[in-house]
Amino acid sequence: MNKIEQFKNLYNGASLFLIGSGPSFNREQRKQLAECDIITMGLNNSPKNYRPDLWCAMDPPSWFLPSILLDPKIIKLIPNGYARHAIGSKTIGELPSFVSFPWNNEFNENVYLSQETVNYGCAAGNGGGRSVLLAALKVAFLLGFRRIYLLGIDFKMVEGEKNYHFDQDTSKHAVESNNETFKKLSNRFMKLLPSFSDNDFEVYNCNPDSALRVFPFIDLADAIRKARKDIPDPTTESTVGRYEKGWQKSSMKSKATRKKNRCSLSDLKPIEVKKAIVMTGISRSGNHAVLDWICSQHTGNVEYRNNLIAHYSNRYIHNPSDTAIPKRWYSLPNCERAGNEATNVDTFIYSYENQNAKSFDVFPAVHSGQTIKALLIRDPFNLMASQKAQVDRGNKFWFYKTCTDDGVVNPSKLHKFYTMWMSHYELSKNKDIVTILYNKWATSLEYRNLIAEKIGVDSRCDLSMNDVPSNGGGSSFDGCLLDGSATKMNVMERWKTCSDYRWYRDFFRVNTDLVEASNELFGELEVDLSFKGDSESTIPSCFIDKDLNKL
């Protein structure tokens, strides 16, 4: 029998439609799947109504239909302990299309994806809650699938009703036991979201009425389109010229050109400046407003570069004459320009955006006798609301790329926001870095005076406070409409625009450590996360912290 190690990453980056046993997997969904060339995996006896490409089970083979086990077209993925079980005159291990894997029953969210064995819950005496769904997701990850669409995953049973999409009785005890397991699994899946996010492993639920609310809903038709979008339609493809090799020469030429360009860039020498200020912050934290303000505190030749970490090349420091300076790189009108070659610079100010703490470092092409590191932090409630507003305006920046699916917020990806914000919170404890709290900077003259003293200004000025920088499109909500009267912007109540979004409320109710960190930096903000539309909780009760109802 083959072992799963031989097939790791076989489906590298592909999408998988995973079919459970819930009655929501109806005839219409089966028809939609049958009409598309997509990869499917069935669980337990679900192949009774739809024959999948792959099949996974954790219980003894005798529990399942022989037609599944004996079908050579279905790749069977089962625990290695069942290899000697008999089916007819042969053992499971002697049949074709079987792949085995080692397993464990000690759930640990920190090692679920990385451990060599496949977990499917905990032993009865250690919390219980075992499920083939846990095992199937891990197996899918090992096989290289990175986007999973769940079908027939209803996560609720009702006594006396049809609880499977095939014939199967359920006793009162079975209903109660399964519903209890569903609660435990919801809790475990919530704990797994961070590692899923870190490993770009996305899970969606195609049942809008499922009690498994951890994973975002997607309509099956949309899921099929996403799974097929990178695969050309063979009926419209042309085979003409496929055996010619002219394309190879063109590709080699472009590679040689790129290599030559890289070599010319490496010849540029670092620049020498009297003073350098490097700032990092998450986008939409008021970065450009604060950078404008910092620029206006200095005189002489002041140069500004935006988000250099994204263009880690001397070319963007020197800006040779054959390259136009992007409009977003500007110096304030009252500052002199240092020129294309960035020579004779008194103060060089540049920023990084959306970088984890370990990437916050001095740009290697800037040599300075005095370098000041500054960290900009905005409270997460208003920051996330501003990022959502920026996405709604059609700007495809960091939050769009990492936390949404084509502009629709994906709750399972919001851990990337959590990780980024918390890494900057930890960085704020570094005494060698000047931490700028945006909330206080925007509202307190006394606080701005304190920050000005820390960064060593030579021309204290607050004239830029009423300006709305055009960089980044201005305000997420008002654009540049309030340029000249920027202090009128209600930047402390942006959260209200998101307070009725379920994903927004759930994010802050679940991530209590982030809320506590925000309270430490900014004090307890008057943010109301209670939903006004109905009284029903939007988070499964198994992982609601009752104290969070005070939010």
The C-alpha atoms of residue 424 and residue 377 are separated, in whole angstroms, by 7
Tell me what pLDDT residue 162 has.
Answer: 92
β-pair type (434-437, 366-377)? parallel
> Per-residue pLDDT tens for 56-96?
999 998 899 999 999 999 999 999 888 888 887 788 888 88
Q: What is the mean pLDDT of the chain?
A: 80
Judged against a pLDDT cut of 60, whether residue 149 lies above it is answered with yes
Indicate the range of 91-95, 221-225, 321-325 predicted with least confidence: 321-325
Indicate the range of 255-259, 446-450, 545-549 predicted with least confidence: 545-549
Q: Which residues of 35-47 are buried (b: 16+ CB within 10 A; e: fewer)?
A: eeebbbbbbbbbb
Residue type, 165: H
* Torsion over CA: 529, 534, 535, 537 (sign): negative
Position with higher pLDDT, 86 vs 463:
86
> Per-residue pLDDT tens for 33-56?
988 889 999 999 999 999 999 999
The C-alpha atoms of residue 61 and residue 82 are separated, in whole angstroms, by 7
Q: Using an 8 Å Cβ cutoff, are 484 and 466 in contact?
A: yes
Indicate the range of 40-44, 221-225, 466-470 predicted with least confidence: 466-470
Domains belonging to the chain, first-starting first, are 2-228 (3.90.1480), 267-494 (3.40.50)
Per-residue pLDDT band at 312 (split at 50, 70, 90): low
Judged against a pLDDT cut of 80, whether residue 258 lies above it is answered with no
The C-alpha atoms of residue 168 and residue 388 are separated, in whole angstroms, by 45
DSSP states along 481-505: TTTT-GGGS-GGGGGGGTTT-HHHH
Phi-psi category of residue 128: left, alpha or beta, with phi > 0 → left and psi -120 to 50 → alpha: left
Q: Is the pTM of this model over 0.75?
A: no
Tell me what pLDDT residue 463 has.
Answer: 67
Which range is most confident: 44-58, 283-297, 300-314? 44-58
> Per-residue pLDDT tens for 479-519?
334 334 444 456 788 898 888 888 999 899 889 999 999 99
> Per-residue pLDDT tens for 400-420?
999 999 889 998 889 999 999
Judged against a pLDDT cut of 60, whether residue 252 lies above it is answered with no
